[in-house]
A and B are shown apart, each in its own frame.
Chain A
C-alpha cells in the first residue's frame, strides 16, 4: 500500500471527507437562500416603482387625454434609468416609448411578469425585464416595465461566489483532512513500529504517550498496562522454566542413573524388578512436582470462576486436621485445633484443602520432630477475612528468609536433608492468591506460623449467594 493510499484510507481522512460534503451542502443552501432573498427584495422594489408609474400615467391620461400621456411618456423616456415604456393605440400603432413591441406581450391587466425586450435604439440586443400591461379607456394600451439586467449580473456574482467558495472549501477541507490524517497516521505508525519492535523481542519498550490526553494517548496507556501484565506473566513463566531446568534435572539424572545401572549390572529378574520399581517411584515424584508447578503457574495466571463456589473453610480445616491426626500421633506430636463456626469463603474447596495439607505437612515435618511437640491449627474470622493459621514450635524461619521461602523450589539449608520438593509453601501461597488472599509467614516465638488469609464471603442473607470476586 502506497503512503498516499494509506493516507486516504485513514479514519481521520474519511471523517473529514464526510464533514466536507456536509459543509459544502450547507454552504450551498445558505448561498441559494441569500440569492432568493435578494431577488425577492429587488422584485418587490420594481413592483412598487412600476405601480407608482402606472398611477402617475393614469393621472396624466385622466387630466389631458392621450396627448398629455404621450408627452409624459416621452419626457420620462429621456430621463436616465432602467424604466421602460410603450404606449400603443387601439390599432396597435406605437405612439410613444423606448421599447419595441415584445414578442410575448404580458396579458393586459395582469401582474408583473418577467420577459425579454429590445430597446428601440439597440434593436439587436435582447435584455431581461419585468413588465406589466394595462388598458386605458379609449383602447389605448400602456406597457410599463423595468430593466433587470443588473439583477442577472448580481445573480451571476452570487453564483460565482458560491462556486469559488465551494472550490476553496473543498481544497482546504481536503488538504486539512489529509494533514490531520497524516498527523494521526504518523502517531499510529510510531505506535505500530514500537509494537513490531516489542513483538520482535524488545519487551521492555513501551508505546509513546504524547501527553495530549487524547484517545490515542488513552489507547497507548492501556496497551502499555497490558504489556506490563504480559511482561509479568512472561517473567513468571521464565522463572518457572528456569526452576524446572534447575531443579528437575537432578531427579531426572537420578532416574536415568538408576535405569542405566540396572541395565548394566542387574543380574537377576529380582534386581530388574526392584530397579524398575524405584524408577517408577522416582517418576511419580517427578509427576507430582510437575503437577504442583502447573497448578502454581495456573493459579498465577488466574483461575476460571466456574469451579469456584461458596464453602465453609471451618469444615475444610477440621477435615484436614482429622486427616493428619494419626500422622501426628505416630510421630509423637499433638495436633490442636481451634476452629470457629461458619467461616464461609468463596473459592475452591479442593485447592484450599491441598494448601492446608501442605502447611500441616510442613509443620509436622520440620517443626514437630521431638516427642511432645505440638502443632496448633486455628481458623477464625479477623475483620473481613478468614484466617487459617498453622503454627509449630520448631526452629522457625529467619526473618530474612520469610519472603524467599514462598518462592518455588526454595529449600532452606536445614531442610535439605529431608524429603520434599520445595513447592509446598509456594503452592499454598498460589492458592491464597487464587482466593484473592495472601499467605503470611510469621514468628510463633519460637517456631513458625503460616497464616492463610482469605477474604470472607459476604453473606447478604442466609440463602443468597456471596458475590464473586473479580477474576
Chain B
C-alpha cells in the first residue's frame, strides 16, 4: 500500500513513515500543505494522512481542494483538536476518517488499512462473507458454521458483519463503536470487549484454532487460523 503522510512535525512524520515501512507499506512524507497537495495530485497513493494544521495550506483546504480536482484518494485527518464539531468539519471537507492526537499507531494502521480496503475492495457488493467454515449471508441475515445455522442478536450480526468485511485486518474498539453502533466517542470501558466475547462464545465454540483473535494493544481480527 502506498501512503502519503502530510505532516509538518518532522519527528512525527519520521515515526509514521518508519512504522508504516515496518508493516510493509510504502510511505512518503510532505512537510507542508502545498507540497502535500502536489504530491497527492501527482502520486499514485492509496491513502493520504493529513495533519489539520499545516504551513502554507491547512489540511481541510488541502482535502477540499483535492476533492474539487476529482482526486478521490481516501484521506485520514489527524488532529489535536478532538472535539465533536472539529470531527464533523473534517468529514464535511471531504476527509474519510478522523483521528485525534495523541493516537495509538495500531489504531491509525487499522484505520488506514480499512480505508485502503474500502477503495480497492469490491467486497462491499459481496452478499456472502466467508472466513474458514464461517459464512455470513448479508441478504438472508444468516450465519452458518459448517452449514449449521447459529442464532445471533441483530447487533451481534452487525458486529460479525463488520469484522468479516475486514477479515485479516485489525479492527479497533473505536472503529467498532463507530461502525457497528454509530457513536463517535471513546468507549472508555470494556463494553466492546464484552460484546466480542459473547460473539466469540457463539462462533468459536468447540474450535481448536479460533477465528476471532484479540490483537493485544490494538483490537480484534477475524481470520482463518488454518491458513
Contact surface of A with B, Cβ cutoff 8 Å: 277, 280, 283-284, 287-288, 291, 294-295, 298, 303-304, 306-307, 319, 322-324, 326-327, 330, 348-351, 353-354, 357, 361
A306-B88 in contact (CB<8A): yes
B82-A294 in contact (CB<8A): yes
Q: Within 8 Å CB of A294, what residues of B? A: 82-83
Q: Kindly state the separation between the CA atoms of A132 and B189 in the bound complex, as whole angstroms.
A: 118
Across the two chains, which residue of chain B brings its CB closest to A306?
A: B85
Question: How close is B172's CB to chain A, nearest CB, in angstroms?
Answer: 12
Q: Within 8 Å CB of A295, what residues of B? A: 83
Q: Kindly state the separation between the CA atoms of A327 and B190 in the bound complex, as whole angstroms.
A: 8
Q: Is B123 on the interface with A (CB-CB < 8 A)?
A: no
The contact string, 1 if C-beta is below 8 Å from chain A, for chain B 87-125, is: 010000000000010101000000000000000000000
New A-B contacts (20) at CB < 8 Å, excluding given A277-B216, A291-B186, A294-B83: A280-B217, A283-B102, A284-B104, A287-B102, A288-B188, A291-B82, A294-B82, A298-B83, A304-B85, A307-B85, A319-B183, A323-B191, A323-B195, A327-B190, A350-B185, A353-B183, A353-B185, A354-B185, A357-B187, A361-B191
Q: Within 8 Å CB of B88, what residues of A? A: 306-307
Interface centre among A298, A307, A351 (most CB of B within 10 A): A307
CB contacts between A and B, total, < 8 Å? 59
Contact of B183 among A277, A291, A350 (CB under 8 A): A350
A277-B195 in contact (CB<8A): no
Q: Within 8 Å CB of B100, what residues of A? A: 291
Q: Within 8 Å CB of B102, what residues of A? A: 283, 287
Q: Within 8 Å CB of B183, what residues of A? A: 319, 349-350, 353-354
Q: Is B25 on the interface with A (CB-CB < 8 A)?
A: no
B83-A348 in contact (CB<8A): no
With A277-B217, A280-B217, A284-B104 as contacts: A326 and B85 at CB distance below 8 Å? no
Q: Per DSSP, are chain A's interface residues mostly helix, strand or loop, or mixed? A: helix
Q: Per DSSP, are chain B's interface residues mostly helix, strand or loop, or mixed? A: loop
Question: How close is B57's CB to chain A, nearest CB, in angstroms?
Answer: 23
Q: Within 8 Å CB of B184, what residues of A? A: 350
Interface centre among B88, B155, B191, B198 (most CB of A within 10 A): B191
A350-B198 in contact (CB<8A): no
Q: Is B181 on the interface with A (CB-CB < 8 A)?
A: yes
Contact surface of B with A, Cβ cutoff 8 Å: 82-85, 88, 100, 102, 104, 155, 181, 183-191, 194-195, 198, 216-217
A327-B191 in contact (CB<8A): yes
Contact of A326 among B181, B186, B188, B198 (CB under 8 A): B198
Across the two chains, which residue of chain A brings its CB closest to B102?
A: A287
Question: How close is A241's CB to chain B, nearest CB, in angstroms?
Answer: 18
A307-B84 in contact (CB<8A): yes
Interface centre among A303, A326, A330, A349 (most CB of B within 10 A): A326
B84-A323 in contact (CB<8A): no
Question: How close is B81's CB to chain A, nearest CB, in angstroms?
Answer: 9
Q: Kindly state the separation between the CA atoms of A74 and B227 in the bound complex, as whole angstroms.
A: 152
Q: Kindly state the separation between the CA atoms of A287 and B104 in the bound complex, as whole angstroms.
A: 11
Q: Kindly state the separation between the CA atoms of A319 and B184 in the bound complex, as whole angstroms.
A: 13
Question: How close is B20's CB to chain A, nearest CB, in angstroms?
Answer: 19
Q: Kindly state the separation between the CA atoms of A124 and B34 in the bound complex, as whole angstroms.
A: 98
Q: Within 8 Å CB of A323, what residues of B? A: 181, 191, 195
Q: Kindly state the separation between the CA atoms of A348 and B185 in the bound complex, as whole angstroms.
A: 12
Question: How close is B71's CB to chain A, nearest CB, in angstroms?
Answer: 26
Question: How close is B7's CB to chain A, nearest CB, in angstroms?
Answer: 19
Q: Kindly state the separation between the CA atoms of A283 and B104 in the bound complex, as whole angstroms.
A: 10
Q: Kindly state the separation between the CA atoms of A324 and B190 in the bound complex, as whole angstroms.
A: 10
With A291-B186, A294-B83, A350-B185 as contacts: A324 and B191 at CB distance below 8 Å? yes
Q: Kindly state the separation between the CA atoms of A303 and B88 in the bound complex, as whole angstroms.
A: 13
Across the two chains, which residue of chain A brings its CB closest to B83?
A: A298
Q: Within 8 Å CB of B82, what residues of A? A: 291, 294
A303-B85 in contact (CB<8A): yes
Q: Within 8 Å CB of A306, what residues of B? A: 85, 88
Q: Within 8 Å CB of A326, what residues of B? A: 191, 194-195, 198
Q: Within 8 Å CB of B84, what residues of A? A: 307, 348, 350-351
Q: Kindly state the separation between the CA atoms of A326 and B155 in the bound complex, as whole angstroms.
A: 12
Interface centre among A295, A323, A348 (most CB of B within 10 A): A323
Q: Kindly state the separation between the CA atoms of A269 and B185 in the bound complex, as whole angstroms.
A: 35
Q: Kindly state the separation between the CA atoms of A294 and B194 in the bound complex, as whole angstroms.
A: 28
Q: Kindly state the separation between the CA atoms of A303 and B84 in the bound complex, as whole angstroms.
A: 10
> Considering the complex of A and B, which 5 residue pairs feature the smallest CB-CB distances, nearest first?
A307-B85, A354-B185, A326-B194, A353-B183, A350-B184
Across the two chains, which residue of chain B brings its CB closest to A291?
A: B82
Q: Within 8 Å CB of A322, what residues of B? A: 155
Q: Kindly state the separation between the CA atoms of A234 and B110 in the bound complex, as whole angstroms.
A: 40
Q: Within 8 Å CB of A303, what residues of B? A: 85
Q: Kindly state the separation between the CA atoms of A259 and B144 in the bound complex, as whole angstroms.
A: 48
